[in-house]
Structure 1
Amino acid sequence: MAKIVKTLVVDDSAFMRNILKKILTSTGKFVVVGEASNGKEAIEKAKELQPDLITMDIVMPEMDGITATREIKKILPNVKIVMCTSIDQEKKVIEALEAGADGYIVKPFQAQKVIEELNKLFPDE
């Protein structure tokens, strides 16, 4: 039996969070335990929920995903963080990976690509 992966979905767009939740839960492997709409909220939820995985939007109000990633990695060094980015944000992706992100997925989300990327971080036993 594959391990269930507790996931926190972070995006300032409720629409994007819902799309991602559908993709994640369709696998039966990823369980969405919480959501946040900005980096500050993401840090609070990460402390509270102790997820295995966080999908993190890069561009958000209050605190961006890169800053939030740095902060969360200090508190939860083992959590996997996957950045969500639009195609034109290559510099930001590199910055995010340097901040401790473990990978990235591109918007608009393609279910197959999202699942492939996440399965690299959480291979089936």
Structure 2
Amino acid sequence: MQIGVETSRAVENKRIFVVDDDEIIRAALQFMLHDEYETHEIGSLESAIDKAASAKPDLLILSENVVKAAGLPVLKEISQRISGVKVLVIVDSLQSGFGKESQAAGAHGYIVKPLTVEFVRQKVDVLLGRRQGVAIPLTVL
């Protein structure tokens, strides 16, 4: 069992792949989530899909850059290749509209930078069914 994790959560430990070409962002997200989730840092989408064959993730957290490099259709492809996986996209700006485009293309949600521990954990908890969704005003994003 991981230190600081409630027993009920440790039993149902979920696996998350953080996929970003930026090592610092990957490390920050891994740090935010590692005490409650089995979190893996992965540098490319191809590597994440390969790893999913032997260690299926419950959630993929993808950077905007990763999604843009692969193209928005990759979001539907991911759900076909990794059954039951949820996808969360980290976007650089709310004004760009890329978060909404990602959701329309198949992502289950998005988070806008700058990232905070509380908001990342809340969003991940909701997507993985550990917490009920709460409406958060866009000004807080």
Per the normalisation by structure 2, the TM-score is: 0.74
- For 2:75 and 2:37, the matched residues in 1 are separated by 20
1:45-72 alpha-carbon deviations (Å, 9 max, x no partner) = 3333210111111213993373432221
Aligned residues, how many?
122
**Aligned equivalent of 1:86:** 92
Task: From the two aligned structures, give the one with the greater strand fraction.
Answer: 1
User: Which shifted more, 54-63 or 67-76?
Assistant: 54-63
**Aligned equivalent of 2:136:** none
**Aligned equivalent of 2:80:** 74
- Alignment partner of 1:18 out of 27, 48, 64: 27
Q: Secondary structure at the match of 2:102?
A: helix
Per the normalisation by structure 1, the TM-score is: 0.82
1:5 aligns with 2:14: yes
**Rg bigger for which structure?**
2
Instruction: Summarize the Cα distance change of 1:56–1:89 in structure 2 as closer, same or farther, 3 Å threshold.
Output: farther
Unmatched runs of 5 consecutive residues or more in structure 2: 1-7, 132-141
1:29 aligns with 2:26: no
Matches within 5 A, 1:28-107: 28-32=35-39, 34-60=40-66, 63-64=69-70, 66-88=72-94, 90-107=96-113
Report deviation, 1:114: 0.5
Unmatched runs of 5 consecutive residues or more in structure 1: none
Note if contact 1:53-1:80 (Cα within 8 Å) is conserved in structure 2.
yes
